[in-house]
Structure 1
Amino acid sequence: MPNDIVTIEPDDSLKTWGWVSYILHLVVAVGAVLPGAQASIGLLVIALVIDLIKREDAAGTWQASHFSWRIRSVLWAGVLYVLTSWLWLLFLVPGWIAWALISLWFLYRIVKGMVRMNAGRPMDTSNVI
């Protein structure tokens, strides 16, 4: 008689949470790059909370680097947005350019992380940014 009980291994659960977080980050990143497609900052906060909570569960696994990667991506993007926000107040075009570059950088990091996670590979977290 076949066993109808489905068990989820911790690694599978972490990967599922990782995909949920990456998809939420991706929605926000695409919204930041495409004019008029702004996603809610709430999605980013939800993804960040998921990463902060589940990071401890991922300790010691190849997926731990992905949780750290996403957290650092959000924090660095936030710092860069804050540091360049004065450009919006003084000069509209340089502010737009700075934020567009930050948004593209954030999108790049999210896509890079998704590709590596799909391949079952950890992120190289030796770089600060």
Structure 2
Amino acid sequence: MTDIVSSEPAAAGKTAEELAGLKNIAMVVYALQALSFLWGVTAIIGIVINYVKREDARGTLYESHFDWQIRSFWWGLLWSVVGVILIFVLVGFFVLFATWVWMIYRVVKGWLKLNEGKPVMPA
């Protein structure tokens, strides 16, 4: 007898509509993070949304996306602050540029994984 095992994480009792809603929220936050390259305030809106809806994503594949987005925000903010402080010794420009490239990578990778219906690993 062959057991069929789903490769998708358990949906934690969520309905299809709830899962679709979580996917839409994750997509909106990725868009807000992308827009933060032009207007930084959109990243703050995205992180607030992440924290408000994080509990709803528990046990779904979207949990890793929410964690990915939260970590991207906080690490990006940390390295941006370090870069601004180090501008006075001219190294800060390199730190800011590296942070900018890293954030683009995080947004693109997360968005692509979301569109594929896969979790982002490691979150």
With the shorter chain as reference, the TM-score category is: 0.7 to 0.9
2:92 to 88, 92, 95: 95
Question: What pairs with 1:84-123 in structure 2 (closer than 5 Å)?
Answer: 84-91=83-90, 94-123=91-120
Total equivalences in the alignment: 109
What is the TM-score when the length of structure 2 is the normalising length? Answer: 0.82
For 2:58 and 2:16, locate their aligned partners in 1 and report how far apart those are by CA, in whole Å: 18
Deviating 4+ runs (over 6 angstroms):
none
What is the TM-score when the length of structure 1 is the normalising length? Answer: 0.78
For 1:8 and 1:62, locate their aligned partners in 2 and report how far apart those are by CA, in whole Å: 13
Q: CA RMSD in A?
A: 1.6
Name stretches of at least 5 consecutive residues in structure 2 with no aligned partner.
1-14
Residues 87-113 of structure 1 show CA distances to partners (whole Å, capped at 9, x for unaligned) of: 21232xx22221011100011011000
Name stretches of at least 5 consecutive residues in structure 1 with no aligned partner.
1-6, 32-38
- Residue 12 of structure 1 is matched in structure 2 by 20
Report deviation, 1:122: 0.4
